[in-house]
């Protein structure tokens, strides 16, 4: 009877984890649309302002719902996390999005899962699993295949550096978000970070960028999408996943971002999609599946 009960409990936990994975996967999938929204719907040349307008309205909206401020040492922790996960990451993301094709920008960011694996070891003491490294490398290879196209791709050096810097920032922020788990709901934790990140960007945007031009209807639609869906909803799912699944499992889902970017470029912009790229998609999906299986298994030191 006890064996049957344990088996039933294991199945329930498995279903629960699968649900958590699917829910968390929404975030990087939506983030993959950031590149096409940025280039097609937003004013060009305002990466810091766009990052601020993506984060701050979403944070303030959530703050109105939770009506709770940080206390004690959580003030400076929230500022650090807001800088890593929101302010710096989003700024680098939009610089890369403006300067690189969407698939390229998302691909550079795909190094994040590999960084997280080693950061979790250094910061959290989590054992490094060879299978997890293999899954991350396979994901990188699959993502690289997504870039192979009949035409040449111009790589902007500033865009590449920004993409790499953003990946490092989000990787560190993901790990620290797991280490610093506040005694509040995920909604509140998300509200704090989005608001802090947005506030940090206000003086930088005012100093370094000119005022936005008059916004058209498509600009407003783009900002609304990035704020409500691309920030408020997705960051809440992301931080929820970090708390429930762990940084490494969540980071591996970021491979879905370049996959989404390439698919949207093909479907909406008429970009080419070759058999080799389709194979790359299969490799990405396989690497995500392998990574989730590895993270769900017992740890080995």
How does residue 301 score in pLDDT terms, banded at 50, 70 and 90? very low
Q: Are the C-beta atoms of 28 and 254 separated by less than 8 Å?
A: yes
Percent of the chain with pLDDT over 90: 42
Query: Is it the case that residue 105 has pLDDT exceeding 80?
Result: no
Contacts of 105 (CB under 8 A, 6+ apart): 35, 93, 96, 97, 99, 159, 163, 261
Cα 17 from Cα 229, distance rounded (Å): 23
Please choose, from the candidates 28, 101, 25, 89, the residue with its C-alpha nearest in 3D space to the C-alpha of residue 54. Answer: 89
pLDDT at 8 over 60: no
Average per-residue pLDDT in the chain?
84
- Supply the pTM of this predicted model: 0.84
Q: Is the pLDDT of residue 34 over 90?
A: no
Handedness of CA 95, 98, 99, 101 (dihedral sign): positive
Quote the tokens at residue 169: 């920032």
At 129, is the secondary structure helix, strand, or coil? coil
Closest CA to 33 of 245, 257, 273, 287: 257
Q: Which pLDDT score is estimated for 298? A: 57
Q: How far apart are CA 268 and CA 260, in angstroms?
A: 12
Centre a 10 Å sphere on the Cβ of residue 199 and count the other Cβ atoms it contains: 18
For the segment 252-263, the average pLDDT, to the nearest whole number, is 83
């Amino acid at each position: 009877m006890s064996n049957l009960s344990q088996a039933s409990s294991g199945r329930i936990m498995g279903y629960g984890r699968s649900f958590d994975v699917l829910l968390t996967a929404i975030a990087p999938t939506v983030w993959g649309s950031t590149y096409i929204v940025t280039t097609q719907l937003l004013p060009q040349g305002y990466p810091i302002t766009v990052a601020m307008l993506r984060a701050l309205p979403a944070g303030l909206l959530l703050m109105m719902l939770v009506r709770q401020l940080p206390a004690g040492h959580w003030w400076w922790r929230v500022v650090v996390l807001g800088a890593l996960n929101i302010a710096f990451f989003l700024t680098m993301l939009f610089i890369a999005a403006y300067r690189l094709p969407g698939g390229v920008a998302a691909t550079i960011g795909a190094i994040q899962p590999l960084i997280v694996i080693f950061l979790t070891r250094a910061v959290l003491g989590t054992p490094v699993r060879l299978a997890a490294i293999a899954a991350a490398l396979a994901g990188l290879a699959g993502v690289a295949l997504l870039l192979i196209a009949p035409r040449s791709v111009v790589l902007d050096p500033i865009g590449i550096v920004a993409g790499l810097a953003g990946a490092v920032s989000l990787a560190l922020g993901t790990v620290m978000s797991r280490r610093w788990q506040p005694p509040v709901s995920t909604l509140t934790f998300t509200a704090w970070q989005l608001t802090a990140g947005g506030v940090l960007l206000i003086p930088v945007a005012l100093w370094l960028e000119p005022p936005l031009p008059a916004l058209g209807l498509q600009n407003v639609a783009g900002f609304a999408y990035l704020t409500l869906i691309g920030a408020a909803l997705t960051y809440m799912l992301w931080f929820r996943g970090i708390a429930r699944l762990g940084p490494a499992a969540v980071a591996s889902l970021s491979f879905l971002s370049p996959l989404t970017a390439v698919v949207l470029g093909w479907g909406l912009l008429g970009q080419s999609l070759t058999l080799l790229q389709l194979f790359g998609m299969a490799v990405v999906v396989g690497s995500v599946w392998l990574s989730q299986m590895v993270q769900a298994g017992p740890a080995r030191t």
